Amino acid sequence: MTRKNSLSLFLCLFSFYPFVFLHAELRIEITQGLDKAVKIAVVPFAWKGKRNSPAKLDQIIANDLSISGRFEPLKKENMLSFPENESEIFVRDWRMLGAEYLVFGHLEPNEVEVRLHFEIFDVSRAEVVRRRTVNGLPKELRDMAHYVSDQIFEVVTGTEGSFSTQIMYVTAEKFAEDKRLYALNIADSDGWGVKRILESNEPILSATWSPDSGSVAYVSFELDGRPGVFLHDLSTDKREVLTRFAGLNGAPAFSPDGKTLALVLSKDGNPDIYLLDLVTRDLRRVTRHYGIDTEPSWSADGESIIFTSNRGGQPQIYQLGLEDLQIQRLTFEGDYNAKASLLKDGSALVMVHRRDGVFHIAMLDLKKGTLNVLTETSLDESPSVAPNGSLVIYATQRNEEGILATVSVDGLVKFNLPSSAGDVREPAWSPNKKKIFEVLD
């Protein structure tokens, strides 16, 4: 969807701009990090097997920490030693290099699995602050590395890391003058491990994750060119049509418990918010207005829904209490605010905000009432918050090409995720981490 030339919320939410895509792979380009990033040394992990190590985990971890914008990994060639355990650490050497933290450990094959032991060493305190052992298959080594990165991020910042999460996004490949192949893709947070879960000659919109990350819902026009809301089980690859009424079927959003889907239907007239019970398939209409109500998202407790409406004349953000159906307007600054979601603690809204005719990603502090514009790019849309609440991924444009970009909620860390050859759109950050290996604490 595009917000180039129209103030119509209907057009913004239900039209699809024909971007050209060639490949789904993402790469990461850091554009802004902290001035005083934490200096950390990730020592190459010792390999206890007879053959060569199957993966360079230290490089994966260092890359994770670099793209967070909050760490400055020490280059391997500048390290004075490669300790495998605490007894081999010469604290003075690492202090001389300016390292604030040190990560080291070893990999050891165990029958068909690989065991990874790692430790995080605080140089200023001269002590290990966390140690873990992880057991997994060789094919899970990248996931194990992301787990280590999450542990480091949590130890240093006090915030849970999001390196083990996934990103879902839409691409489209032009194969004729007026024809495109649309695809729904899932990749790890660093752009690796891309999996294409759906291809269609018709647009795919508004893909969203279930709370357990086991299923996704999205809008597809594959049936006679009409929109329908689909439910897709990622483990079995089974799909089913949830709604395909006359008119609009769009903007699905799972409730926190995964039992209900909020969505937008116009089957009874104007676009309104409905709740679909995923067990009984009962449908409940929760808004009734002559304006357009759309883009629902849930509060963390599942007791209210945030949505966009032009009921006041211009697109603004409202909150609907599901018990009494009372509606409260949340945004007042600016003439266009849309596609909002609450942070888990309910303290702030992340949304699309128009300023000086340009669409940016902004955060509204609901307690202080202050609005902070986070991005400096243009035509920004589709913000999705990382599960730890620290980063927002969104779609934007660069050199007339669609890319994904990420910004921290304080606006201090920024990086781009362009496709290797083409455009990407409609990102959605998974709510849960991948965890397919055994952690032996």
Residue 108 pLDDT: 92
**pLDDT per residue as tens digits for the range 133-142:** 999 998 899 9
Q: What is the rounded CA–CA span in Å between residue 384 and residue 105? A: 35
Residue 240 pLDDT: 96
pLDDT of 53 higher than 80: no
**pLDDT per residue as tens digits for the range 89-135:** 999 999 999 999 999 999 998 878 999 999 999 999 999 999 999 99
Q: What share of the chain is helix, strand, coil (3-state, %, to 5)?
A: 10, 45, 45
Q: What is the rounded CA–CA span in Å between residue 350 and residue 340? A: 5
The residue among 356, 407, 412 whose CA lies nearest residue 383 is 407
Place of tokens 């009734």: 288
Question: Collapsing DSSP states into helix, strand and coil, what is residue 157?
Answer: helix
The residue among 384, 269, 338 whose CA lies nearest residue 13 is 338
Residue 28 pLDDT: 59
**pLDDT per residue as tens digits for the range 350-396:** 999 998 899 999 999 999 999 999 998 888 999 999 998 889 999 99
Confidence tier at 433 by pLDDT (50, 70, 90): confident
C-alpha to C-alpha distances, 141 to 134, 171, 223, nearest whole angstrom: 10, 28, 40
Confidence tier at 258 by pLDDT (50, 70, 90): very high
Confidence tier at 4 by pLDDT (50, 70, 90): very low
What does pLDDT average to over the chain?
Answer: 88
Place of tokens 């966009």: 308
Count of alpha carbons within 13 Å of 117, Cβ hemisphere only?
12
Confidence tier at 8 by pLDDT (50, 70, 90): very low
Residue 13 pLDDT: 36
User: Taking the CB of residue 175, how many other CB atoms lie within 10 A of it?
Assistant: 9
Provide the phi-psi class of 290: left if phi over 0, else alpha when psi is between -120 and 50, else beta: alpha
Tokens of 14: 């239900």
What DSSP line would sit under 343-394, residue for residue? -TTSSEEEEEEEETTEEEEEEEETTT--EEE---SSS-EEEEE-TTSSEEEE
Q: What is the rounded CA–CA span in Å between residue 435 and residue 163? A: 11
**pLDDT per residue as tens digits for the range 283-342:** 999 999 999 999 999 999 999 999 999 999 999 999 999 999 999 999 999 999 999 999
pLDDT of 15 higher than 50: no
Full set of structural domains in the chain with CATH: 9-30+165-433 (2.120.10.30), 35-157 (3.40.50.10070)
Residue 303 pLDDT: 97
Element (H, E) at 425: strand 425-429
